[in-house]
Structure 1
Amino acid sequence: MARYKAIISYDGTNYAGFQIQPNAVTIQEVIEKTLTRLNSGHPVVIHPSGRTDSGVHAQGQVIHFDLLGQRDAEKVRFALDTQTPADIQIKSTEIVPDDFHARYLATGKEYHYHVDMGKSRDPFKRLYSAHYRYDLDIDKMRRASKFIEGEHDFSVFCATGSAVEDKTRHVYEVLIEQTSDTDLLFIFKGNGFLYKMVRMLVGTLLKIGNGQLPEDAIQRALVHQDKKMTGPTAHPEGLCLIEVHYDGDKKSK
């Protein structure tokens, strides 16, 4: 057996998320079926750095898996990449020690969230940006975002259904950039994120920017675990997992 680490990219539009589930096509199912064929029919299970929801995208998701025997990593990448659908890309593969784990050894992640602020939804952005047509005070949102940074118990920003007990996370940096007249980009960097945490934070920041929540709503939500100070969960299509960090990476924090 040899263990492989792979960095993959995917358009999540046509998938019911990453994790295998009944009666739905998922990223995990598609990749595992391909790897099983490459592994002479012996079942292969892949382990991701984290699970993305239906409609969520990734540019730098990390997975690991085991194959019978040791093969050239680039040949594994090429075979997997050419036998998976066009909306899944295998960017790189490498052989790693047997104790490498894509999820448990991850030290940081970066997510981007795209918002289309046009009066009507741009059809060419609809799969990769959430549409928000209401007025926004971006400077107010930037000030509010600073309350997210640091180490906090983010339980109030975790959707129900999470099995994680420790909900304390350290968010290193939150940036909000207006990249065009109608495009807004949220950047989140941290040691980890809870189930739907980024989308809940974005939804709250949008409500703050529109004046429906006070500027200190996030601070009050975190201090008092007050759900009334949080906004709705932002739509999935705007979210993309950009990068996962590990000890030894140049950009790890």
Structure 2
Amino acid sequence: MGKFYLGRVSYNGRNYHGWQKQKDLPTVQETLFNTIRSIYEFGRIDVKATSRTDSGVHAFSQVVKMLIPRRVDAPEMQKLLNDALPSDIYIHQLERINKSFKVTHLSQFKEYLYFFSLKKQSGMPFVGHLESERAISLELMKECARHYIGLHHFEAFQYKSDTSGGFKRKILDSRITAAHEIFPQCFNASSEVYCFHIKGEGFLKQMVRILFGTMVKVGSGELSLQELSEWLKPPLERNSEILPDTTNRPGFIAPASGLFLYHIQYPELRIGEETRRLVDEKNFLNLFPEMELWKNTGESETQDQSCSFPIEVRS
């Protein structure tokens, strides 16, 4: 009889078409499944995750429930899998779990990070550099982030309309932080790299990337904070004098390469902030080897892989 394990899995999403299995395309779920199958030729295998990240999105701490064909001590299973997995996927925590544990329904909150720089080139493949004909105000972007906190109507901040779960979502925290304050061993103050850090009870499809795109438009002056406040209301409650045109989204969809699934919290799973920080720093260097060079010299050999997302600023 198979046994269930719960793992916290990190991955560099650069080479994968998202988490969920797709026909003829490499995904993280399929890679984990095939790795388990390479160890156990027979028996039922199942792999499910809390969050189905999109193509190119990374994860520090994806939570994955795995059905393994036979019972094995968790540390032994963790070593077997990590030895067999490609270097851009790593399991840094594994434990036995009851079959009844619902990995997709019981999470208390999720946290995401979006890395960006106001420099023309960041020198890192996961840090987006903003391009605009207008100056972008970091202070306005910070104020925009604070507007997201609370219970709001996020219908305009999703890729495709899905009414099955409603549009209201509660954001517990939203802020911009210098990357070196979160990862002091990986960044220095002179890097001028920032993180959009958002924590919420749930998110709509591509919501975080659109929220970040909206922040850029606020920072460039294309969208006012007053207009943003109207976008966060249900359509019938919006002030048409402040927001006369609602045919488009308030923000663009930022590239996936800057987004990280940072943390998922369950009542049953506890991991200290200090432990999580150290794990995250180790993950950075494991998943992005070029960070070691950048950390020591401030340069990178992969500048051509930096994501860039120019925005059109209306006159």
| 1:167 aligned residue | 167
| CA distance 1:151–1:132, shift in 2 (3 Å) | same
How far did 1:65 drift? 1.4
Partner-residue secondary structure (3-state), 2:54 = coil
TM-score normalized by the length of structure 1 = 0.91
- Structure 1: how far apart are the matches of 2:141 and 2:117? 16
How far did 1:107 drift? 1.2
* Percent identical: 28
| 1:145 aligned residue | 145
Would the aligned equivalents of 1:141 and 1:215 in 2 still touch at CA under 8 Å?
no
Would the aligned equivalents of 1:202 and 1:234 in 2 still touch at CA under 8 Å?
yes
Would the aligned equivalents of 2:58 and 2:261 in 1 still touch at CA under 8 Å?
yes
| CA distance 1:235–1:151, shift in 2 (3 Å) | same
Greater fraction strand: 1
| CA distance 1:242–1:147, shift in 2 (3 Å) | same
Would the aligned equivalents of 1:111 and 1:189 in 2 still touch at CA under 8 Å?
yes
How far did 1:116 drift? 2.2
| 1:245 aligned residue | 265
Partner-residue secondary structure (3-state), 1:218 = helix
Please show how residues 21-32 of structure 1 align to structure 2 within 5 Å.
Answer: 21-32=22-33
How far did 1:70 drift? 1.9
Greater fraction helix: 2
Would the aligned equivalents of 1:151 and 1:170 in 2 still touch at CA under 8 Å?
yes
| 1:191 aligned residue | 201
* Aligned match for 1:205, one of 211, 215, 218: 215
* Aligned match for 1:133, one of 128, 131, 134: 131
| 1:10 aligned residue | 11
How far did 1:174 drift? 0.3
Partner-residue secondary structure (3-state), 2:175 = strand
> How many residues are aligned here?
249
Larger Rg: 2
Deviations 1:184-218 (A, max 9, x none): 21000111211100000000001000111112333
Bigger drift between 190-199 and 224-233 goes to 224-233
| 1:71 aligned residue | 72
Q: Please provide the CA RMSD for this pair.
A: 2.0
| CA distance 1:29–1:155, shift in 2 (3 Å) | same
Deviations 1:112-136 (A, max 9, x none): 00012212x23x31x2112203322
Q: Which runs of 4+ in 1 moved over 3 A?
A: 161-164, 178-182, 224-229, 248-252
Q: Does residue 106 in structure 1 map to residue 107 in structure 2?
A: yes
Would the aligned equivalents of 1:144 and 1:216 in 2 still touch at CA under 8 Å?
no
Deviations 1:33-53 (A, max 9, x none): 111233333342211011111
Amino acid at match of 2:116: V
Structure 1 unaligned segments of length 5 or more: list them.
none
How far did 1:165 drift? 2.8
Amino acid at match of 1:98: K
TM-score normalized by the length of structure 2 = 0.74
- Structure 1: how far apart are the matches of 2:81 and 2:266? 23
Partner-residue secondary structure (3-state), 1:105 = coil
Amino acid at match of 1:234: A
Would the aligned equivalents of 2:56 and 2:257 in 1 still touch at CA under 8 Å?
yes
| CA distance 1:43–1:162, shift in 2 (3 Å) | farther
| CA distance 1:87–1:153, shift in 2 (3 Å) | same
Would the aligned equivalents of 1:130 and 1:236 in 2 still touch at CA under 8 Å?
no
| 2:233 aligned residue | 223
| CA distance 1:18–1:229, shift in 2 (3 Å) | closer
| CA distance 1:144–1:116, shift in 2 (3 Å) | closer
| CA distance 1:163–1:43, shift in 2 (3 Å) | farther
Structure 2 unaligned segments of length 5 or more: list them.
180-188, 236-245, 273-315
Bigger drift between 214-223 and 92-101 goes to 214-223
Amino acid at match of 1:172: L
Bigger drift between 9-18 and 37-46 goes to 37-46
* Aligned match for 2:224, one of 211, 214, 231: 214
Amino acid at match of 1:128: F
